[in-house]
Amino acid sequence: MRVVHIIPNLRRGGAERLSIDICSKLTKLSGMQVILVALNDLIEYPELLQKVPYKIIPSKFIPSITGRVTDCTEELFSFLRQFKPHVIHSHLFEAEMVSRSKLFPEVKYFSHCHNNMEQFEPLNLKTFLSKKRITNFYEKMLLTRQYIKCNNHFIAISSHTQNFFKRNLPETLRNNIHLLHNAIEFDQFCLNSIKQHGLDLVNIGTFNENKNQRFLIDVLVELHNRGYSRASITFCGSGSTFSDVVSYAEKKGVLHAANFLGIVANLKDVLSEKNIYVHAAKSEALGLTLLEAMAAGLPVVTLDGGGNRDLIEQGKNGWMIYKEDVEQFADAILKIANNENLYHQMSSYAVEFARQFDMNIYVQKLVQLYKDA
């Protein structure tokens, strides 16, 4: 079977990392010929790409209501005609637009729904009050037409995302929406050792308004105000709000207890030194970092981001807080950290819970979806 995965770029992010991991596993299966295509040369995972067949083909397709279409896809489609894929598997909206701008009748198409794409929001009054929303609606209309033509299949990474697309895709496509939770390289994170309880917290992710790291600084302040001065939090990642969060920690007087490591190559080393994983994203399609932390034996305390509801079993592998409440969040952390027996039970359960999301299991399910299609 010949499979092409197409993604806009290979910057650091969950969708990008997953596409590389999937291709890495698929190439090891007998009878599979796989290549990963990036539509521009932004690459931030050079160390992971050494064992993955990949190709950079600069491509762009931007439709226009006025008829001024930008179509720079000739090189991509020339490559696809030569490669003759059985499956084209696309990631993220830009890759959707490019890869579906022309269709091959013999190819099976899969769209990886890493999030609730804003372009698929339902039509309402606000649509006509915003140029961006009008553009989104127009692109959705064109793309949906192509989806119907090719009998497109969709991979939803959480129940939340699956329900979103069931609501917003035509009825003829709804049976093609498959729930397949994203996966991790379990063995890369599993420590095979007993974790110790404590208040060394850790958060991993891009710094932006949605990831909401400022909220975690407020949680740290709350813990200190309650007398837990030993509490600390380590942040791994960078992004647009990084400097703002650092300044906020300084302003709140907890900079000495907040460690900002930037982008970290080996997250397992960081997770091995921490006790609890904390996550404050306002919206989360699934949350691979939660699974990676669980695999390392860390119970999780998280805000409700929608998709991460599939990952939390209350009081067993973590706690989900359903509103942005600093006190409730701190309560959950202390409930875990101050009870050694509970901590060890949750730590052990977290590891076994994460094991079922191993990439080897995932790829077998994915290949079966390809074959069924």
- Residue pLDDT tens, the chain, 373 long: 999 999 999 998 889 999 999 999 999 999 999 999 999 999 999 888 988 999 999 999 999 888 789 999 999 999 999 999 999 999 999 999 999 999 999 999 999 999 888 888 776 666 556 777 788 888 999 999 999 999 999 999 999 999 999 999 999 999 999 999 999 999 999 988 888 889 999 999 999 999 999 999 999 999 999 999 999 999 999 999 999 999 999 999 999 999 999 999 889 999 999 999 999 999 999 999 999 999 999 999 999 999 999 999 999 999 999 999 999 999 999 999 999 999 999 999 999 999 999 999 999 999 999 999 9
pTM: 0.91
Tell me, what's the pLDDT at 265? 85
Tell me, what's the pLDDT at 129? 64
Find out whether 200 and 232 touch, Cβ atoms under 8 Å: yes
Find out whether 280 and 319 touch, Cβ atoms under 8 Å: no
DSSP string, 335-365: HHHT-HHHHHHHHHHHHHHHHTTBHHHHHHH
Find out whether 34 and 5 touch, Cβ atoms under 8 Å: yes
**3-state helix, strand and coil shares in percent for the chain, rounded to the nearest 5:** 45, 20, 35
Rounded to whole angstroms, the Cα distance separating 16 from 91 reads 8
Q: Nearest-CA neighbor of 300 among 351, 238, 362, 242?
A: 351
Residues 6+ apart with CB under 8 A from 232: 199, 200, 201, 220, 257, 258, 259
Pairing, β 60-62 against β 70-72: antiparallel
Tell me, what's the pLDDT at 58? 98
Tell me, what's the pLDDT at 125? 60
Rg (CA), the chain: 22
Q: Nearest-CA neighbor of 352 among 308, 296, 314, 271?
A: 296
Spatial strand order of the sheet with 33-38 comes to: 54-56, 33-38, 2-7, 87-91, 108-113, 153-156, 177-179
Tell me, what's the pLDDT at 68? 87
